[in-house]
């Protein structure tokens, strides 16, 4: 990775990697204002150490790289996979923050300006629909979305741009509920589901076999009626 000579360049690079270059989202991830981010990136204002510490801890970035441009951007580590497996980062993977949100069908509220990052999960870029959008990983809660989404599944969600909202379609016929326009500020669209729940092949096979046997019995009954 090329070494940048100015901290503003390195902050700009982080914004591209973790927020698709969107300064508003980058500011939200760090719990600061967009004005501060623009001052650091566009106007060359030097950030205070508290901000540098926040950046390094949030994204697990090397202090030495952020301050001086020396060395590698990310610390040498294994990805936090939350029991879903882990892998080293490469140029073909996206490091997605796991945030403290639990999803369920129905109503709820969320302040996106104050999200706690619990860790990160690495997803191959080829599995994501966008290479520039902001992604988060969240958990599902309960069985309100069964059988499509199960309890404790991990969902990889994309923050939709406002012009994408009109294209959202519900393919699973969940019950409708009303949201006031003034209360809808952003939409998290699930693209991937990572589940610890493995299907029981034996149970599925037995169920289908029982259905087949019932149909054969029914056909046999009708055959006997016709012959008799």
Confidence at residue 200, expressed as pLDDT on a 0 to 100 scale: 57
Confidence at residue 40, expressed as pLDDT on a 0 to 100 scale: 93
Q: Which residues pair with 123 in a beta bridge?
A: 94
Confidence at residue 41, expressed as pLDDT on a 0 to 100 scale: 93
Secondary-structure percent of the chain, ordered helix, strand, coil, rounded to 5:
35, 20, 45
Q: Which residues pair with 158 in a beta bridge?
A: 135, 189
Confidence at residue 2, expressed as pLDDT on a 0 to 100 scale: 40
Confidence at residue 1, expressed as pLDDT on a 0 to 100 scale: 39
Those residues of the chain that have pLDDT short of 70 are 1-5, 75-91, 106-115, 169-177, 179, 181, 183, 196-206, 228
Q: Which residues pair with 177 in a beta bridge?
A: none
Closest CA to 50 of 69, 35, 22, 31: 31
The residue behind tokens 């999960």 is 121
Q: What is the DSSP letter of 151?
A: T
| Sign of the torsion formed by the C-alpha atoms of 115, 118, 123 and 125 | positive
Helix axes 23-30, 7-19, angle to 10 degrees: 90
For the chain, give me the number of helices (H) and strands (E)? Answer: 6, 5
CA distance 149 to 129: 20
Confidence at residue 176, expressed as pLDDT on a 0 to 100 scale: 66
CA distance 201 to 130: 34
- Taking only the tens place, the pLDDT of each residue in 73-109 is 876 543 333 333 333 445 578 888 888 777 777 655 5
Confidence at residue 210, expressed as pLDDT on a 0 to 100 scale: 78
Q: Helix, strand, or coil here: 33?
A: coil
């Amino acid at each position: 990775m090329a070494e940048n000579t100015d901290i503003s360049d390195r902050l700009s690079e982080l914004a591209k990697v973790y927020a698709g270059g969107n300064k508003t989202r980058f500011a939200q991830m760090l719990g600061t204002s967009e004005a501060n981010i623009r001052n650091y990136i566009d106007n060359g204002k030097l950030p205070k150490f508290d901000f540098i510490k926040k950046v390094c801890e949030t994204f697990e970035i090397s202090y030495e790289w952020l301050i001086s441009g020396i060395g590698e951007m990310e610390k040498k580590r294994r990805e936090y996979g939350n029991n879903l497996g882990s892998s080293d980062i490469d140029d073909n993977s996206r490091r997605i923050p796991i945030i403290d949100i639990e999803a369920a069908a129905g109503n709820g509220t969320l302040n996106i300006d104050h999200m706690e990052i619990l860790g990160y999960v690495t997803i191959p870029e080829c599995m994501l629909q966008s290479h520039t959008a902001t992604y988060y990983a969240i958990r599902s809660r309960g069985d309100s979305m069964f059988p499509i989404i199960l309890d404790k599944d991990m969902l990889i969600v994309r923050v939709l741009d406002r012009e994408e909202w009109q294209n959202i379609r519900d393919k699973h016929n969940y019950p409708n509920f009303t949201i006031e326009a003034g209360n809808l500020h952003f939409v998290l669209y699930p693209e991937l589901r990572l589940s610890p729940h493995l299907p029981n092949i034996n149970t599925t096979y037995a169920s289908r076999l029982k259905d087949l046997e019932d149909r054969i019995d029914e056909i046999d009954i009708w055959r006997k009626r016709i012959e008799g």
